Amino acid sequence: MASREMRTRGDGKSRNEDEVCGWGNGCRAGERIMLMTGTMTYLAVLAVLDARRREIESWILLLGSFGALLAAGVFLVRGMVSWDQLLFGAVPGVILLALAQTTHSAGAGDGIVLLQVSIFLLLERTIVAFGISMIVMGGFCAVLLLLKKASRDMRIPYLPFLWLGCLVAICTCEGGIG
């Protein structure tokens, strides 16, 4: 097993390199920054596409799904996550995907993107991101309705709100790969 580099905390006590990123199973601080930057950049591109076109190209979703599955495999092999963490983290995405298929009030692409992002955020951060995105989107829709700028059946892009929710979740929660 590789040796663990010891660092000093602000209080003078030592801790190993894995604890620097707040994740004790093989994630280093540099990896954390790369993972979250990549995830947020991917999500930002999708949010812009969703806001402009109200749809996401299937090839982009397929490419993102391939990348997310590849990352999940790496995380499992390196022992950074367990199967149950990945599966529980996917629950909000599965719920949104099921909602999209049964009610047609949400897009299937939204659920797929939430599933992809959940691999990096895991359960706690995914729930926070999903909840914040729904609250902010609900408030936005309420304001539009009050100002009579929208009708009840107007389609609002979800991914810009998911991007905001993920940003808040990454900055405030302890769980997740990063």
Give the mean pLDDT of 60-73: 87
Those residues with Cβ within 8 angstroms of residue 22's Cβ, 6 or more apart along the chain or in another chain: 32, 174
Residue 57 inside a domain? The answer is yes
Give the mean pLDDT of 74-97: 83
Residue 7 inside a domain? The answer is no
| Greater pLDDT, 24 or 104 | 104
Give the mean pLDDT of 41-63: 87
| Greater pLDDT, 81 or 152 | 81
Domain count, the chain: 1
Residue 39 inside a domain? The answer is yes
Q: What's the pLDDT score for residue 122?
A: 82
Residue 98 inside a domain? The answer is yes
- What is the DSSP secondary structure assignment for residue 25, as one 8-state letter? T
pLDDT above 70 covers what percent of the chain? 78
Q: pLDDT tens digits, residue range 13-27?
A: 444 444 334 344 455
Give the mean pLDDT of 59-71: 88
Residue 14 bridge partners (DSSP):
8
Q: pLDDT tens digits, residue range 28-49?
A: 666 777 778 888 888 999 999 9
Structure tokens at 19: 């604890």
Residue 123 inside a domain? The answer is yes
Question: 3-state SS of 154-173?
Answer: CCCCCHHHHHHHHHHHHHHC
Q: Is the pLDDT of residue 1 over 50?
A: no
pTM for this entry = 0.74
- Domain extent for 73: 18-172
Q: pLDDT tens digits, residue range 110-135?
A: 888 888 888 888 888 888 898 999 99
Residue 66 inside a domain? The answer is yes
Q: What's the pLDDT score for residue 72?
A: 85
Residue 63 inside a domain? The answer is yes
Residue 177 inside a domain? The answer is no
